[in-house]
Chains A and B, each alone.
Chain A
Amino acid sequence: MRLNFKQQELVDQLVKDIETKFPEVRFVSIEPSPESVNSWWLDFTKPDDEERLAALIEYASELATDILLDYGHHFVVLPVVENGKATAEV
């Protein structure tokens, strides 16, 4: 399964927006959702503390909602990776 041109453009912009607002987090990978053929999951590194994590969850969800309503593409941002490995706690 591959991203189409528009999906790739939206993902690039979403990653750029998140990395600009949260310079301490980095995009890691994208994969199809295991639950839905219409959904993509974007893994990011995890921010350092709970306040930043909460802010990232809110921000990413707002952006993803905008994309869903404007373009119909469903992307879920998962800040779960630390140093290339899944973290023990999010």
Chain B
Amino acid sequence: MRLNHKQEELIAQLVKEIEEKFPDIKFVETVPSPESVNTLWLHFTQPDDDERFMKIAEYASERTMDILLDYGYHFVVLPVVANGKSGSLANQFADSSRSIQWEERFMSYQSWLDKANENLAAAQLCFDNGYFNACANRLYYAMFQAGIAALVKHGLLRPDAQVGHDWLQTNFSGQLIKHRKIFPAKFRSYLFEALLVRSTADYRMASVSRDTASRQLKKAKEFINAINLEASHATQL
């Protein structure tokens, strides 16, 4: 993926404005969003405290909204790089060996797994309080993040991957179940089931029932526990 001239110009101006207003942070690199082909993520170094982070988020969001409305380009500013490895515009889309490493850019498998476990706990809280649509939403994303954790752990997530629902299902079921036989075959359609129920919860007038939420929550726990177990087993070896 390459930037066109206008995108380069807009990013250069955006970086200049952010670095001038917040001299404590530095631009690192531009990468394609793993979620959307129309979006670019601009990584910056992390500020020292939460107050500063919120100010950067506010300012950057206003600027990127202007760019989106005026030019139709979608940039997301992420002040998340901890080690302060600043780069330059010339390094855009450099490969991971010459740029910052994968785990600095996104997350380690353990971070994905920690967030999956947090979302699973949130799904349980939603269920306990009768919020079954929200439960379906959280449990799907818990499974989504756990699935990515497993793929990262086994070196199957490339830095340039477009991590969509179909990509995850194809690679989890195809690579980790069918080819490598790391997880049992019964899990092959669990992600699909959870997506089906989550899509109903999020986009249809119909609501998810207690019974459906309960069944899906049970499956989500089974799925995520298996990934937790495999990760801890592999770590011990």
Contacts and interface: CB of A to CB of B under 8 A. Distances in A.
B189 A64 contact: yes
B200 A69 contact: no
B39 interface: no
Q: Is the interface of B mostly helix, strand, loop or mixed?
A: helix
Interface string A20-61: 000000000000011110110100001000100110011011
Q: Chain A: interface residue count, which band?
A: 20 to 34
Q: Is the interface of A mostly helix, strand, loop or mixed?
A: mixed
Interface in B160-205: 164-166, 169-170, 173-174, 178, 188-190, 192-193, 195-197, 199-200, 203-205
Nearest to B38: A37
B225 interface: no
A88 to B, nearest CB: 7
A3 interface: no
Interface in A51-88: 53-54, 57-58, 60-62, 64-65, 68-69, 72, 74, 76-78, 80, 86-88
A36 B203 CA distance: 13
B181 to A, nearest CB: 15
A46 B206 contact: yes
A90 B165 contact: no
Nearest to B201: A90
A90 B200 contact: yes
B211 interface: yes
B209 interface: yes
Interface string B210-226: 01100100000000000
Q: Chain B: interface residue count, which band?
A: 20 to 34
Given A57-B193, A58-B189, A36 B170 contact: no
A74 B165 contact: yes
Contacts, number: 88
A35 B165 contact: yes
A59 B142 CA distance: 22
Contacts of B204: 78, 80, 86, 90
B206 A61 contact: no
B108 interface: no
A24 to B, nearest CB: 17
B218 to A, nearest CB: 11
Given A58-B189, A69-B178, A89 B199 contact: no
Contact of B170 (A58, A69, A78): A69
Given A58-B189, A61-B196, A80-B200, 9 more contacts: A35-B165, A38-B166, A39-B164, A65-B169, A68-B170, A76-B196, A86-B204, A87-B206, A90-B212
22 contacts: A36-B165, A39-B165, A39-B166, A41-B199, A50-B209, A50-B211, A57-B196, A61-B190, A62-B188, A65-B189, A65-B192, A68-B173, A69-B173, A69-B174, A74-B169, A77-B196, A80-B200, A86-B204, A87-B205, A88-B206, A89-B209, A90-B206
Per CB-CB distance, the 10 closest pairs between chain A and chain B, nearest first, are A86-B205, A61-B192, A74-B166, A61-B189, A50-B211, A61-B193, A80-B206, A65-B189, A90-B206, A87-B206
